[in-house]
Amino acid sequence: MIFQNRIEVISPGRLPGHVTVENILDVRDSRNPKIVRTLRRYKDAPNQDLGEGLNTAFQKMKEWRLQPPVIQQLQNAVKVTIPHTPLATPEEAVLEYLQTHEEINNSIARFLTGIKSENQMKEVFYRLRDRGLIERVPDKRGNAAAWRRT
């Protein structure tokens, strides 16, 4: 089911064997071996390993700085909810980092926020600077090397 703020997938049947909601990303077990065998017939199979689909979903949500999927074991089904809810704005992520660190540079900020472009990250810094929340930290040559809280 697709909603404005989330996607819900309900798969009939319970989790197999020793797989639980808590360990589902670490334990491998197939709920439907026929699907696994069919996928392996492809020249370039889309999922080579058992459990790869959920791990991919969790990885992509983290890359996109979104809340992780929520897995629920219902009475006779497994429900996975994929929310479209950001973890934090890039500005919030920078300020949160600066609560425990003296400085932040473009590279660290891009890692924290998931922003790939140096220029887009600079725009985040400039917005925070314009609000009076951070300032540039010059290097020995006077170039802007990092940012710190004001």
In CATH, 90-149 is 1.10.510.10 = no
pLDDT tens track for 60-117: 888 777 888 999 999 999 999 998 887 778 999 999 999 999 999 999 999 888 788 9
Q: What is the CATH number of domain 6-83?
A: 3.30.565.60
Per domain, the residue ranges of the chain are 6-83, 90-149
Tokens of 78: 């497994």
User: Does the predicted TM-score (pTM) go above 0.85?
Assistant: no
Selected residue with higher pLDDT from 142 and 86:
86
At residue 45 the predicted structure's pLDDT band, cuts being 50, 70 and 90, is low
pLDDT for the residue 39? 72
pLDDT, residue 42, reads 78
